[in-house]
Amino acid sequence: MHSWTDTLRFAFQPVVNLTTGAVAGLEILARPETGDILAEARRDPELDSRLAVSAVRAAVRKETLLPLFVNVFAGTLADLGGLPSLHDAVREAGRLPWEVTIDVCPPYTHVPQRALLEAVSRVRGQGFRICADGVGDGDVPLRLLSDITPDLVKLDATLLARPAVVRSMRTLCDGLGALLAVEGVETEGQCAAALAAGAQLAQGELFAPPARLPAADVYVPPRSPARWPCRGRGRRCGSSCGPPRCCPPRRPRGRCGRC
């Protein structure tokens, strides 16, 4: 009898820093060859937790040193009260928890909010970073979003057609101390709209599609030289700009995608 791990593969999609054009991290996406294991994981917190562990181990096999984004359903966090197995897997892999962002995914309906907030506090206390995923396309209440105080908020690209909403989310993120990302960006027009609305990070087919091998380079549409935040000798400035906000301030050089 085959295990679900026999038919499960993982793909990696870059998360791009829109200011520097560099890869800020990799989201790890489960790609089952048969069945719908994600639907099962939504109903089974233990399975979802094992998927998160498998995602980290898949990244280790690819020998990437970039920060990682790992998806976990909100219901899984609330039900398990945290992710001890993920913390152990990260340590065993020789990575540090702050190198991993947990993308907390909808649905939030029927998830006990107090249990979710306690679980988020627990994993944050272990050093993990927290992302509120699927905002605008999911069902996360704004009050709960404020209570979670995420490090990152991911918006669906469909909201780019409503720039006032995206700008409002940027204002909210600034108040929460969070970065704003847009996922599902497919066109240069969407990228320009994300920048104009204040998004700092983005991911999508425009930059690089999900792939079995982590992408070292991504396509970023050219910007007007006057819009780069700093310049040096006619080129986009590199390390003199300081580390991007998506990386912890004391991160070693050569591991954040800019160096």
The letter for the amino acid at 239 is S
Average pLDDT for the chain: 86
Residue range 226-252: mean pLDDT, rounded: 38
Question: Mean pLDDT throughout 56-66?
Answer: 93
pLDDT band of 236, cuts 50, 70, 90: very low
Residue 82 has pLDDT above 60, yes or no: yes
5-14, 174-183, 208-217, 224-233: the lowest-pLDDT one: 224-233
Tokens 């089952």 — which residue? 32
CA–CA separation, 65 and 82 (whole Å): 24
- The mean pLDDT of 222-247, rounded to a whole number, is 42
Beta carbons of 176 and 146 less than 8 angstroms apart: yes
Percent of the chain topping pLDDT 90: 76
pTM summary value: 0.84
At 33 the pLDDT is 74
Strand partners of residue 12: 28, 211
pLDDT of residue 4: 61
Each residue of 115-170: pLDDT tens digit?
999 999 999 999 999 999 999 888 999 999 999 999 999 999 999 999 999 999 99
| Percent of the chain residues topping a pLDDT of 70 | 83
Would you say residue 56 has pLDDT above 60?
yes
Homologous superfamily in CATH for domain 4-216: EAL domain (3.20.20.450)
Burial bucket for residue 235 (CB in 10 Å: 0-12, 13-18, 19+): exposed
pLDDT in tens, 183-195: 999 999 999 999 9
Residue 233 is predicted with a pLDDT of: 33
Give the dihedral of Cα atoms 61, 131, 211, 245; nearest 10 deg.
Answer: -90
Least trusted range by pLDDT, from 6-15, 38-47, 206-215, 237-246: 237-246
Tell me how far the alpha carbon of residue 94 is from its chain's centroid.
20
Residue 256 pLDDT exceeds 80: no
CB 179 within 8 A of CB 245: yes
Where do the domains of the chain lie? 4-216
